[in-house]
Every structure is written in structure tokens, then in C-alpha cells.
Chains A and B, each alone.
Chain A
Amino acid sequence: MNAHVADLEPAAEPCTDSRFTVPGIRCAGCIGKIERGLSQLPGVAAARVNFSAKRVAVSHNAQITDDDLIEALRELGFEAERAAENPLARDDAETKRLLRALAVAGFGMMNIMLLSVSVWSGAEGLTRELFHWLSAIIAVPVVAYAGRPFFASAAMALRYRRTNMDVPISIGVLLATGLSIYETLTGGEHAYFDGAVMLLFFLLAGRVLDAVMRGRARSGIAALLGRMGRGAHVLEENGGTQWVAAEGLRPGMTMLVAAGEALAADGEIEAGETTIDASMLTGESEPRACRAGDAVHAGMINLGAPVRVRVTAVADDTVLADIARLMDEAGQSRSRYVRIAERAARLYAPAVHSLALLAFAGWMLAGAGWHQSILIAVAVLIITCPCALGLAVPAAQVAASGALMRRGLLIKDGSALERLAEVDRALFDKTGTLTLGEPRPIDLSFLGPEDRAIALALAQASRHPLSKGLARSLRMGGVQPALLEGVGEEAGTGVRGNFGTEAVALLRPEGVLAGLAVDLVRDGRRQTIAFSDPLRSDVRATLSDLSGQGIESAILSGDRKEAVRGVAEALGIAGEGGLQPSDKLCRLEALAARGHRALMIGDGLNDGPALAGAHVSIAPGSASDVSQQAADAVFVGEKLMPVADAVRTARRTMKVVRQNFAFAVLYNVFAVPLAFLGHVTPLVAAIAMSGSSLVVVANSLRLARSER
């Protein structure tokens, strides 16, 4: 990842690389705008956009700070956040290792096949021996390199006296290679190098697909992450401020929290008076007034004026940490879930071993001799090796997750799809899940067209949540911003500007507790725009879609009971309010005890334990980092429908997976007797293996097509 930036570095001053997440990159124009705009800044050596990961890597010297760069990006029209220190590096390395092994296996397979085809078509004597030798020279290093992922996993399983899919694979590959070397040395007729290497190739293809699916969804989620308080501006003794990451905060420091910023640590307000949005922690939707001396917690968002907060607790001591501990405990139940491929392997591996052993013993008894008997046992191992099985699950899941991703739902791994297919209850959080989690104006119809244009121009200039919601609603209504001059934001009060000769402003209503509202002021005339947190537009359609699939929905919320009851009655589902994080977990456990499989959909930190403890969970893209990490899937956008789509696609995926398994079993019913009778030559093994793999992959690809 560093390569591009490093290549572009001029030799002059030492440069540091900074990475930013910019979710707003959508087109070629954005790439050009950002790269050109940033590289014109003094102190910036190079800027490179990674479009897939929605990141910008900037190489710059000490002249320019990260904050300046974020500000510059904002002026270019992009919201940016510092990207965390490459959290995906480990996963990336794993995928790369598998890809390299796959490339090596592919190289070996093609060259050995080239030689094998000549042997099958009748090369004899010296030529055949030469070809076998060449195959051996290629195959031995290839098996040693490309087989490592399987050998390592098999060794691990055996060390704990268990068996998994990799044990028969490893035994099959090693035996086939060993036997072929023996055949080559003694000038025998058949060598199974091609079978061994082809087996590795197909199985690695399955593993790579699995890893790619996880990697793709994770990088999508990583692009969404990092919108929460990951650090704070800390007041220094000389009066300046410095950005300190959340891990670097210490009790006793003083944070400056601007309007719209999230708190990175627990603390006590030292100076200033503001309103705080605590919905992330409590689910409570109404902002709460806070003044000097009040305690505030990490994860809360400052809506009003900038305040100074003295840090009282950081990292492990915060209220957040309590929630994290609950989540840890809740998540353990899920790690006991056994994926369908592993369940199949538990039945399959012993069956394959005993079959091969049986073949060996049978032919020995029949008096075929050591050599012949081992040859047949190896043929049984190769032909029954779970090529089709290894591909059956990942191929279907990759196709399905790709289809879901196009509809705005990122699934973290295959086991999530499997669990999603089993749910029969859906539990929704209210704030931020059924609702948008952002304030939107209730009614704009009383504003004239000119008022709207002015309001949009003013709202665009501010980062305050109310301004953002107002700007978004107006833009959706097709309003073009008016041309204003001298627009400036006064933190805590509002935005002011001039429309021609007229002074206009968006201001906080007089009186701190006027609820969620802003005043549009034109020459002293005030119009109050009230805000609420509206339901997502397709909530009803989604709920009826879910109940059509036999899933019963309910609301579990930390919000006030009356607020929850109102929404629940309007939607015609059960609802419970005033719940603590641990209460939600209790409800889930009670459901699980009655044999239900629950899908939890929530966004707040207070949902974290429930998300981790549910059978499967989904979080909206606007959710807190913790919730996105705890959830199995994340959906982006304002629609709730991806949730219902996800369940439907998951069920269809499992149907295809079962078809693939059924096919693999059917294939074995025909292939095993052949191998048992000693009719499986390397040619037959090669055809059977690639044929069955192709059928399985083709069947899985139907999922990608039908979802378009």
C-alpha cells in the first residue's frame, strides 16, 4: 500500500504518510479533484486515492498537519477521517499468501498436465520416464509450497486429536505424491502428480474465494468506520491545542469538544453549556442539556456549543468498557457455532479414511500385493477428496455476498450467511435503526422558494447535525442553493451570511431547551424549523416482507417506554422500551432458551452486547464503530430493505449449498465404486475432479445472476 506514495516522494525533506478515510469518493471526478487539490498544498509531496478502499494516502512533510489536510479535504467537498493504522493488514497478508499458493499450484498444474496429456495419449518407454521425471521435478516443490496451508491446518487439528477437512486432503496429497515418486523411480506406468497438484489448485481456489469475500466486506466496513470520537483536541499548557488519539488520552487532560464532535473519553464539563446527544449510549432520542460540573461519557455527541471537558476516565475505565466486557461474554456463544462445511467434514473425513483403509485391506486380502493395494487406496483418497465439497460452500457464499453488496449490505463472513438463513425472530432497536438516527425537518412547506435556497446555502456551510439534515432534505427536494456572501459559522450559535444586502442566518432558537429546531432569520424575521428523527421510508414494507418469510419482528429499545410504544403501535409490532444493554441480552437469551434464532438489528453502543449475543446481527452503516464491529453485517444507505433481502438471499444460498452437497454425494456414489475396483487411472481422476468442481461453481454462480 505504501508503494505508490513512496515512489512519488521527492528526495528533499523526510515525508510522513497519512491515511484518510473518505467515504464520499464516488467517481473519476472525485479522484482527480482530491489528488490535484491536495498536491497543490504547500508541504504535500503526493496524494494518491485508493478508490476501492475509499482512502487517500498523503505523503507530506512537517509543514502541514493531519488536521490541515482534513480541513483541505472538507474545502474540496469531502468529509474525511483519519484512517486507523491499517487494521486489515493481517487479513490482507493471509489472502495474499493464499493467492501466491494458488498461482504456484496453477503454474504446476498446467505444466504437469501438459506432460500428462502426452503420457495418456500413448508416450512410452524413455519418453514416458522423462515426462514422469519432469513432472516430479515440478510437482515436489509445488506441493511443498502450495500445500502448506492444508498441511499446517491438518497438523494443528491432529495435535488437538481432532480431524478436519484438511486431514484427508493432506494425507491424499502426500500419499499420492510419495507413491508417484516411487513409481517414477521404478519406471512405473502411472504417476499421480497431476491429480495431487490439481487437487491443491481447486481447493486453494475455494480458500481464496472465502478469504476474498471476508476481505472485501471488511474493507467496505473499514471505510465506514472511524466517524466516532477516536481522539480529541487537548488543551496544552501554552494555550494551543493538539490532536491526541483516544489511546493517548489521560485522566486530568482537558479536551476541547467542538459542536458535532463525539467524545473520546468520559469526563466532566469544565466550562461551557451545551446540549448532548446520548442516543449512542442510552438510545434516548431527545438531546439533554449539560452545563459545567455535569458528567459526560465517551460516545456522546456534542450538539450545541463547544465545551471544555476534563477527562476523568479513559479506555478501560469508561462506561464503554463495561459494555465491551458484556459484549465479550455474549460473543462467546457465537464462537461455538459450527459452520456447515465443518459439520460435513466431521461426517466426511472419517468416512473417507475408513473407505481408503477398507480398499487397502480388501485388496490385500484378495492377494493383490502391497503395491497394487496402496495404489488403489490412494485412488480412493484422491477421487473422494472433497474438491467439490471444498468449493461448494465458498463459491455459493461469494456469489451471494457479491449480490448483496451491490444492494448495500456487507456481510463479514460465510458463517453469518449460514446463521442468517436460520433466523425466525427479528429484533430491532428504535433510534438509528428503524429511524434514520439523524434529525430531519418535520415540515418545510411554510418556507418560500427563496427561503429554501437561502436555508440550503447556509446549512451547507455547517457540520452541525441539524444543518446536515436540513441540507439533505432540501437537496432531495431539488432546491438549488442561493448565492450568499460572507458565510461564516459561529460555533454554538449558528451560521450567518449575506443575501444581496439582506443579512440572513440559521440560528439556535432562543432558550436552550426549545427541542430540536433551528431558526431561519432574514432581516430580523424568524421562522422556526422543527426537527424530528423520522422512520426509514420503507420500514413497513421491510417488516411485512420479513413476516412473509415467517419472521416475527419486535422492538427492543433503550428509549423511553412511551416513545417506543408509539412507534410499535404505528407499525403493528410488539415493542419494549427502557431497556439496559444487559436487559436486551436477557431478552435474547430467553428467546434462545425457547429455541428461537434471533436476528438483532441495532446501531447504538447500548446494542453492542445484544448484537454480539444474538444468533446473527446487522448494524446500519451509521452505527457506532463498536456496533459495526460486533455485527455480522452492515447495511448502508437510508433503506431498511437490505435486511429483508439479506435473509432471503441467505436462505437461497443455503439451498444452493445443499444442492452442491447433494451433487458431491451423488458424484461419490458413482466414483467410489470405480476407485474401489481399481479402475481409476490418473486420467479418470483428473476428469472427475475438474468436472465435479465446474458443476459446483456453475451452480453457485446462479446466485449472482438471479440477484441482479
Chain B
Amino acid sequence: MTILGFLIPLALLMGLLGLGTFFWAMRSGQFEDLDGAANRILLDEDQGDGPP
């Protein structure tokens, strides 16, 4: 049963990691333009598409 002492914190840590990532993604505007991201992949050149 000692394995539980390792697995449970690990599971919680990974859950928290996912939660933290979601919060970060929301704060940094990852969900602002979902359709745009789908379309940007079709652009050939990436000039003007971000910082050089």
C-alpha cells in the first residue's frame, strides 16, 4: 500500500498541472480566436503573422 503514498500525490499534482495550464491559457487569450487559429494554418507565408 506504500505505493499509494506516491501515486495519490502524483495524480493530484498532474490534475493541478492541468488546471493551472487551463487558467494560464484563459488568461493569455488562447481562446480568444478559435476560428482564426483554424484558418491561420492555411496561410502560406508566416510573415506579418507574428514578430519577426
Contact = CB atoms under 8 A, between A and B. Distances in A.
Interface string A333-355: 00000000000000000000000
Contacts of B29: 1, 3-4
A36 B47 contact: yes
Q: Give the residue among B22, B26, B44 with the most A Cβ atoms within 10 A.
A: B22
B15 A28 contact: no
A8 B50 contact: yes
Given A28-B40, A51-B35, A110-B15, A103 B48 contact: no
A103 B19 contact: yes
B2 interface: no
B1 A127 contact: yes
A39 interface: yes
Interface in A18-41: 27-28, 31-32, 35-36, 39-40
Contact of B26 (A7, A39, A40, A100): A100
Contacts of A1: 29, 32
Given A107-B19, A134-B8, A8 B33 contact: no
Contacts of B32: 1, 4, 50, 52-53
A110 B12 CA distance: 10
Contacts of A8: 50-51
A110 B39 CA distance: 34
Nearest to A45: B51
A53 B29 CA distance: 13
Interface in B5-29: 8, 11-12, 15-16, 18-19, 22-23, 26, 28-29
Residue among B18, B39, B49, B51 with the most chain A CB within 10 A?
Answer: B39
A107 B15 contact: yes
Nearest to A126: B1
B43 interface: yes
Given A52-B33, A114-B11, A36 B48 contact: yes
A111 B11 contact: yes
Nearest to A46: B51
Nearest to B8: A134
* B interface bracket (residues with beta carbon within 8 Å of A): 20 to 34
Contacts of A36: 45, 47-48
Contacts of A32: 43-45, 48-49
Most chain B CB within 10 A, of A35, A52, A53, is at A52
Contacts of B44: 32
Contacts of A96: 26
Interface residues of A, number: 33
A51 B33 contact: yes
Nearest to A102: B22
Contacts of B51: 7-8, 46
A441 to B, nearest CB: 35
A116 to B, nearest CB: 13
B8 A31 contact: no
A28 B48 contact: no
Interface in A115-135: 115, 127, 134
A641 interface: no
A50 B1 CA distance: 52
A31 B40 contact: yes
A100 B23 contact: yes
A178 B23 CA distance: 28
Contact of B36 (A3, A52, A107, A127): A52
Nearest to B18: A107
A50 to B, nearest CB: 5
A104 B19 contact: yes
Contacts of B35: 51-52
Contacts of A517: none
A35 B42 CA distance: 14
B34 interface: yes
B14 to A, nearest CB: 10
A8 B50 CA distance: 7
A15 interface: no
A156 to B, nearest CB: 26
A50 B36 contact: yes
B39 A28 contact: yes
A499 B23 CA distance: 60
Contact of B43 (A4, A28, A111, A134): A28
A47 B51 CA distance: 10
26 contacts: A4-B32, A8-B50, A8-B51, A28-B39, A28-B40, A28-B41, A31-B39, A31-B43, A32-B49, A35-B49, A36-B48, A40-B48, A46-B51, A49-B33, A50-B36, A51-B33, A51-B39, A52-B32, A53-B32, A96-B26, A103-B19, A107-B15, A111-B15, A114-B11, A127-B1, A134-B8
- Would you list the 10 A-B pairs with minimal beta carbon distance, nearest first? A51-B36, A36-B48, A28-B42, A28-B39, A3-B29, A35-B48, A50-B33, A107-B19, A32-B43, A52-B35
Given A28-B39, A36-B47, A107-B18, 16 more contacts: A3-B29, A8-B51, A27-B39, A31-B43, A32-B45, A32-B48, A36-B48, A50-B33, A51-B35, A51-B36, A52-B32, A53-B33, A96-B26, A100-B23, A107-B15, A110-B15
Interface of A: 1, 3-4, 7-8, 27-28, 31-32, 35-36, 39-40, 46-47, 49-53, 96, 99-100, 103-104, 107, 110-111, 114-115, 127, 134, 138
Interface of B: 1, 4, 8, 11-12, 15-16, 18-19, 22-23, 26, 28-29, 32-36, 39-45, 47-51
